[in-house]
């Protein structure tokens, strides 16, 4: 009797040999999906770890961020190129890396749109490509900061 199981791809019930997870048709899609899930789990854990420790910083930062954005409603990078784009992110011009002076110094802040902010943090991290550095920067900064306490 052949040992069969069914393809683990959602919605697919095709039989596959035991030991295989997916049918021929879903081999590639299935492993891609697993990668994605692994990454999501990893990111969730990463966020959870910092959230309670970062709460103090989080509330203060949120207030500063909201006020800063209300005073600087347009993306400063886009403005330099003559485009008026609503700012959504507050960026540290020099990465603060846990340094409180840089962290809370409003001279060191600039309002950016999401696209400009991603571009800047990608450049700072040395490019795309691995899971760790492609996390959104504010989260990363928050965690680095939190770990000091
Ligand atoms: Zn399948
Ligand atoms: Zn922009």
What is the distance in A from the centroid of ligand 1 to the CA of 13?
6
Given a contact cutoff of 8 angstroms between Cβ atoms, the answer to whether 95 and 3 are in contact is no
The single-letter DSSP state of residue 89 is E
Q: Which two tokens stand for residue 119?
A: 């571009």
What is the distance in A from the centroid of ligand 1 to the CA of 71?
53
- pLDDT at residue 84 greater than cutoff 70: yes
What is the distance in A from the centroid of ligand 1 to the CA of 63?
49
Nearest to 26 by CA among 40, 43, 13, 45: 13
Given a contact cutoff of 8 angstroms between Cβ atoms, the answer to whether 72 and 65 are in contact is no
- Residue 121 has a pLDDT of 86
- Residue 59 has a pLDDT of 86
What is the distance in A from the centroid of ligand 2 to the CA of 84?
8
**pLDDT, tens digit, for every residue of 22-47?**
999 999 999 999 999 999 988 887 77
Bigger pLDDT: 2 or 56?
2
Question: How many other CB atoms are there within 10 angstroms of residue 90's CB atom?
Answer: 20
Bigger pLDDT: 6 or 139?
6
Task: Give the whole-number percent of the chain exceeding pLDDT 90.
Answer: 54
- Residue 52 has a pLDDT of 46
- pLDDT at residue 93 greater than cutoff 50: yes
Output Rg (C-alpha) for the chain, integer angstroms. 22
What is the distance in A from the centroid of ligand 2 to the CA of 76?
7
Bigger pLDDT: 44 or 70?
70
Q: Which two tokens stand for residue 90?
A: 């507050």
- Residue 94 has a pLDDT of 92
- pLDDT at residue 10 greater than cutoff 50: yes
Q: What is the mean pLDDT of the chain?
A: 82
pTM: 0.48
Please give the Cα distance from 27 to 22 (Å, whole number).
5
Ligand 1 ion: Cβ-proximal residues, 5 Å cutoff: 7, 9, 12, 14, 23, 26
Looking at the CA of 80, which ligand is closest? Answer: 2
What is the distance in A from the centroid of ligand 1 to the CA of 7?
5
2: pLDDT confidence band, cut at 50, 70 and 90? low
């Amino acid at each position: 009797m052949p040992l069969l199981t069914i393809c683990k791809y959602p919605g697919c019930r095709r039989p596959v040999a035991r030991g295989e997870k997916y049918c021929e048709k879903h081999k590639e899609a299935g492993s891609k999906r697993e990668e994605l899930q692994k990454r999501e789990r990893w990111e969730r854990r990463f966020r959870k770890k910092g959230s309670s420790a970062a709460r103090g910083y989080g509330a203060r930062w949120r207030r500063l961020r909201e006020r800063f954005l209300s005073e600087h409603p347009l993306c400063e990078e886009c403005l330099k190129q003559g485009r008026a784009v609503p700012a959504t992110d507050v960026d540290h011009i020099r990465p603060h890396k846990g340094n409180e002076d840089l962290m809370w110094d409003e001279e060191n802040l600039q309002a950016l749109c999401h696209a400009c902010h991603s571009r800047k943090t990608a450049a700072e991290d040395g490019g795309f490509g691995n899971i760790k550095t492609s996390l959104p920067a504010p989260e990363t900064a928050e965690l680095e900061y939190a770990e000091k306490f």
